């Protein structure tokens, strides 16, 4: 590759800072397409997909005004994009804002009003849409980075749906180096994001070839030592025995420990059918299936990762087995004598997995003999990342790079720590970066001389993302380590096949753009809608000739449609409001409620319950697993939560979601029945059961409708009961201020001791309290100092 020289010069366009973006013909061509219609931009890693989106953003803002929203899946990626936009756009730096979970909801609502470009994680935007804190009507360009994630319940799908429904001048750009493993997956992404066209550039295109170099890929197979084989054999024997039991139940066809995940999923489906049909053997089978899943994971770690990592895994299983309410599967696993021997063998092993020494040799060759500067090592396991970093740091200067969430036995990295590590790597302050998957997608990780896969990955998308860290500006090298006769070899063949299929699909998509556009048009709402949209979306070329006048959107017809009239007449036309604890948003319930006509969702950090439906009804939602965890935990937290609900609300409800409450754990059913009886008889709490999140959503909407429309009761986060303690009254006073809430009120009182001290504190002192941002501090001061003006 790189057979021709790149064309020199910079992009000279309105809204783009001079001499910041190198002129590349393929980027300008992709941007021209993306400026005209909702487009999926496919471009190899490291060749500037973000630049394409920025060119479209600059054009849209110059022509229409409004706002631009860019979504990226991780916080480091968000920070990276924001820095690029501040550098490359002519708008003021403070008009480019970052929305992540580190920014308080109140501050996000305020910043949204004044920002021109918002760069955010999708979870934050989804929460703000559900809670009504932001609206997308003014967004003239929405970019979905790493858009192959737009499937299932990932927030991209929900955000795209809301954007197309509410934006005055919508334009979507999806970006990915690897949009899907096959044509169907790519078309599904397009459908989920409302995309009409695909614009593909591959490294075979002449205008791209000038900027790419060949990447050499080596696959190196290693033999496992006898000690690891012995550990593997002990685990395999238990898996084989458990599969034999499942075979007798009629759900397993074979007992090979190398059983595939697909076959395990089929077994689970059969077991669920047995349970649904009233066959009690299904519960025993589910427990055996859970144990097989845990053993399979231990086997994979031992074979392909490290003995230290499998020791950590077994120790966590032991801790779980000792906890109250531990599952039968975990207890049975750690008590099996063969697993005990495997644990002892792992503890006695004083060597390393052969991948460790081979990784050290390959890195030494790259940095020493070949005179390279930087190496990235990718591994699936955070445990392995930590152990491997310690091992490599004995020979090189190595640092780890992992996600932000803490896990058992492993601390995550803060956003600042991640940024500092990447900055130091770019500055050549250390040689080797050992990373989990967090560095695979999109991050501006510098060009490296070697990318080493500690194990192969079974998806083409991830393999392409990993390899894209080398071969951008000079020939690159990739080494993939495989443990012989293990899962690694299966993943090797799967990855090779899927990569070939994806490359073929992209070539096919490029060669069949007309057919693909026709397939996408079949998924479009109407031809009229698409034509109308195209009339309002000028191309990038047209933008070059445009003057500085911005188009003003035409006034909307304010008369209601037939559908709107029907909605307005239903239930008296009054919208019902459901207050949801924002920590509940891992579930899809808030999202589904916000989609309903006549329902609004307000997000709060609730001190009591998960959903408030009126001044007397509060709902504590528990999945079956959650219910048992809180019921059987040492702190007996369920009853603590119930007491708080009873103190504040007349109609507290515990909602248990899921099936098989009595058969999930190694607990006598009468113990669970006794707890349920106590909730009803001793506490006066109603207990309701739902099958799943959809069922829960329906029930919440029905109760809220009855309370608010039929009984004219409004939701109150404080409840209606009187007789509060002095502390509760103090909390209530502060929590009544907009954007404060009960949790923040407690933080303020803990910091300042009295309500008077809170009310007399200045904004600087208020901002020192955890959970208080500039907007909330200003709100408190406004409430305290503003003259009373009755409405």
139 or 448, higher pLDDT: 139
Closest CA to 637 of 627, 646, 648: 627
- Outline where 427-526 has alpha helix (H): 460-467, 487-511, 513-523
Cα–Cα dist 675/687, whole Å: 11
Cα–Cα dist 717/581, whole Å: 10
Question: Quick one: pLDDT band at residue 556, thresholds 50, 70, 90?
Answer: very low
Q: What is the number of other CB atoms lying within 10 angstroms of the CB of residue 337? A: 9
Residues 6+ apart with CB under 8 A from 644: 607, 608
Q: pTM above the 0.85 mark?
A: no
Orientation of helix 183-193 relative to helix 513-523, angle to 10°? 50
pLDDT the model gives residue 723: 55
Residues 6+ apart with CB under 8 A from 92: none
pLDDT the model gives residue 726: 82
Write the secondary structure of 36-66 as one string of H (helix), E (strand) and C (coil).
Answer: CCCEEEECCCCCCHHHHHHHHHHHHHHHHCC
Burial class (CB in 10 A: 0-12, 13-18, 19+), 522: exposed
**103-107, 285-289, 634-638: segment of lowest average pLDDT:** 634-638
Q: Are strands 576-581 and 611-612 parallel, antiparallel or unpaired?
A: antiparallel
Residue written as token pair 């991640």: 418
Rounded percentage of the chain residues whose pLDDT exceeds 70: 81
Closest CA to 27 of 12, 45, 48: 48
Question: Quick one: pLDDT band at residue 530, thresholds 50, 70, 90?
Answer: very low
Q: Is the pLDDT of residue 446 over 60?
A: yes
pLDDT tens figures, 186-244:
888 999 999 998 888 877 788 887 776 566 778 899 999 999 999 999 999 999 999 99
In this structure, what token pair is assigned to residue 446?
């510098």
CA angle 299, 304, 309 (to 5 degrees): 70
Q: Which residues pair with 62 in a beta bridge?
A: none
Burial class (CB in 10 A: 0-12, 13-18, 19+), 765: middle
Judge contact between 143 and 57, C-beta under 8 A: yes
The Cα-based distances of 702 to 571, 586, 666, 706 in angstroms read: 12, 22, 35, 6
The CA R_g of the chain, rounded to the nearest whole Å, is 29
Cα–Cα dist 517/791, whole Å: 56
Question: Quick one: pLDDT band at residue 324, thresholds 50, 70, 90?
Answer: low
Closest CA to 115 of 87, 143, 134, 102: 134
Orientation of helix 726-735 relative to helix 741-752, angle to 10°? 110
3-state helix, strand and coil shares in percent for the chain, rounded to the nearest 5: 50, 15, 35
Question: Quick one: pLDDT band at residue 468, thresholds 50, 70, 90?
Answer: low
Q: Is the pLDDT of residue 559 over 50?
A: no
Q: Which long-range contacts (CB under 8 A, 24 or more apart) does 510-519 make?
A: 510/200, 510/202, 513/197, 513/198, 513/200, 516/187, 516/198, 517/196, 517/197, 517/198, 519/187
Looking only at Cα atoms, what is the longest distance across the chain? Answer: 82
pLDDT tens figures, 610-629:
999 999 999 999 998 888 87
Helix (H, G, I), strand (E, B) or coil at 253: coil
497 or 562, higher pLDDT: 497
The Cα-based distances of 438 to 83, 102, 380, 382, 407 in angstroms read: 19, 18, 10, 11, 15
CA angle 552, 555, 556 (to 5 degrees): 130
Q: What is the number of other CB atoms lying within 10 angstroms of the CB of residue 505? A: 21
Q: Which residues pair with 654 in a beta bridge?
A: 620, 687
Cα–Cα dist 286/52, whole Å: 49
Mean pLDDT score, 674-692: 91
pLDDT tens figures, 382-412:
888 888 999 999 999 999 988 766 555 567 7
Question: Quick one: pLDDT band at residue 58, thresholds 50, 70, 90?
Answer: very high
pLDDT tens figures, 701-753:
999 999 998 888 889 887 766 556 788 788 878 877 877 777 788 889 999 99
């Amino acid at each position: 590759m790189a057979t021709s020289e790149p064309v020199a010069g910079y992009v000279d366009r309105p809204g783009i800072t001079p001499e910041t973006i190198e002129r590349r013909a393929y980027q300008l061509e992709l941007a021209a397409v993306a400026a005209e219609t909702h487009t999926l931009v496919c471009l190899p890693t490291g060749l500037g997909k973000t630049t394409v989106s920025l060119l479209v953003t600059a054009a849209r803002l110059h022509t229409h005004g409004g706002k631009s929203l860019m979504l990226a899946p991780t916080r480091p990626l968000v920070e990276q994009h924001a820095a690029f936009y501040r550098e490359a756009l002519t708008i003021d730096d403070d008009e480019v804002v970052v929305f992540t979970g580190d920014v308080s909801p109140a501050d996000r609502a305020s910043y949204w009003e004044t920002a021109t470009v918002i760069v955010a994680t999708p979870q934050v935007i989804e929460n703000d849409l559900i809670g009504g804190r932001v609206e997308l009507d003014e967004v003239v360009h929405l970019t979905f980075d790493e858009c192959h994630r737009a499937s299932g319940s990932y927030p991209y799908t929900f955000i795209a749906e809301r954007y197309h429904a509410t934006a005055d001048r919508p334009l979507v750009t999806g970006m990915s180096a690897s949009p899907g493993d096959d044509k169907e997956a790519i078309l599904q992404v397009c459908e989920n994001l409302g995309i009409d066209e695909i614009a593909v550039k591959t490294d075979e295109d002449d205008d791209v070839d000038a900027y790419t170099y060949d990447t050499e890929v080596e696959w190196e197979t290693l033999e496992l030592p006898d000690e690891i084989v012995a550990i593997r054999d002990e685990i395999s024997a238990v898996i084989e025995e458990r599969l034999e039991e499942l075979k007798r139940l009629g759900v397993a066809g074979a007992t090979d420990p190398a059983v595939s995940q697909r076959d395990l999923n089929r077994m689970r489906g059969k077991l669920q059918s047995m349970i649904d049909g009233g066959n009690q053997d299904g519960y025993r089978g589910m427990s055996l299936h859970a144990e097989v899943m845990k053993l399979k994971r231990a086997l994979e770690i031992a074979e392909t990762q490290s003995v230290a990592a499998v020791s950590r895994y077994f120790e966590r299983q032991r801790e779980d087995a000792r906890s109250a309410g531990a599952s039968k599967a975990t207890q049975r696993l750690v008590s099996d004598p063969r697993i005990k021997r495997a644990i002892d063998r792992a503890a006695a092993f004083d060597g390393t997995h052969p991948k460790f020494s081979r990784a050290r040799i390959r890195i030494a060759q790259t940095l020493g003999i070949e005179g390279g500067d930087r190496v990235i090592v990718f591994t699936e396991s955070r445990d392995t990342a930590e152990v491997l970093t310690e091992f490599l740091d004995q020979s090189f200067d190595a640092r780890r790079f992992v996600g932000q969430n803490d896990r058992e036995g492993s601390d995550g990295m803060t956003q600042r720590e991640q940024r500092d590590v990447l900055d130091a790597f770019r500055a050549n302050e250390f040689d080797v970066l050992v990373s989990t998957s967090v560095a695979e997608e999109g991050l501006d990780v510098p060009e490296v001389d070697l990318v080493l896969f500690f194990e192969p990955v079974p998806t083409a998308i991830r393999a392409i993302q990993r390899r894209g860290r080398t071969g951008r500006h000079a020939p690159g090298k990739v080494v993939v380590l495989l443990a012989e006769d293990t899962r690694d070899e299966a993943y090797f063949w799967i990855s090779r096949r899927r990569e070939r299929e994806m490359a073929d699909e992209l070539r096919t998509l490029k060669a069949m753009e007309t057919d693909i556009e026709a397939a996408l048009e079949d998924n479009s709402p109407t031809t009229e809608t698409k034509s109308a949209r195209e009339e309002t979306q000028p191309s990038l070329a047209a933008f070059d000739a445009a003057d500085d006048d911005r188009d003003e959107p035409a006034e909307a017809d304010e008369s209601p449609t037939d559908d709107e009239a029907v909605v307005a007449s239903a239930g008296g036309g009054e919208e019902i409001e459901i207050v949801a604890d924002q920590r509940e948003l891992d579930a899809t319930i808030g999202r589904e409620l916000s989609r309903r006509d006549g329902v609004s969702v307000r997000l709060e950090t609730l001190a009591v319950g998960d959903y408030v439906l009126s001044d007397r009804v509060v709902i504590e939602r528990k999945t079956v697993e959650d219910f048992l965890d809180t019921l059987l935990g040492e702190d007996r937290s369920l009853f603590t939560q119930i007491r708080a609900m009873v103190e504040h609300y007349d109609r507290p409800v515990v909602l248990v979601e899921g099936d098989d409450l009595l058969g999930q754990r190694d607990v006598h059913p009468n113990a669970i029945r006794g707890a349920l009886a106590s909730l009803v008889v001793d506490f006066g709490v109603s207990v309701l059961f739902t099958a799943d999140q959809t069922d829960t959503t329906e029930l919440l909407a029905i109760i809220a409708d009855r309370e608010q429309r039929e009984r004219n009761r409004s939701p109150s986060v404080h409840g209606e009961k009187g007789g509060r303690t002095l502390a509760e009254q103090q909390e209530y006073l502060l929590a009544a201020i907009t954007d404060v809430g009960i949790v923040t009120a407690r933080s303020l009182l803990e910091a300042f001791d009295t309500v008077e001290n809170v009310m007399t504190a200045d904004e600087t002192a208020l901002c020192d309290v955890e959970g208080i941002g500039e907007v909330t501090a200003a709100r408190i001061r406004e409430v305290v100092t503003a003259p009373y003006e009755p409405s």
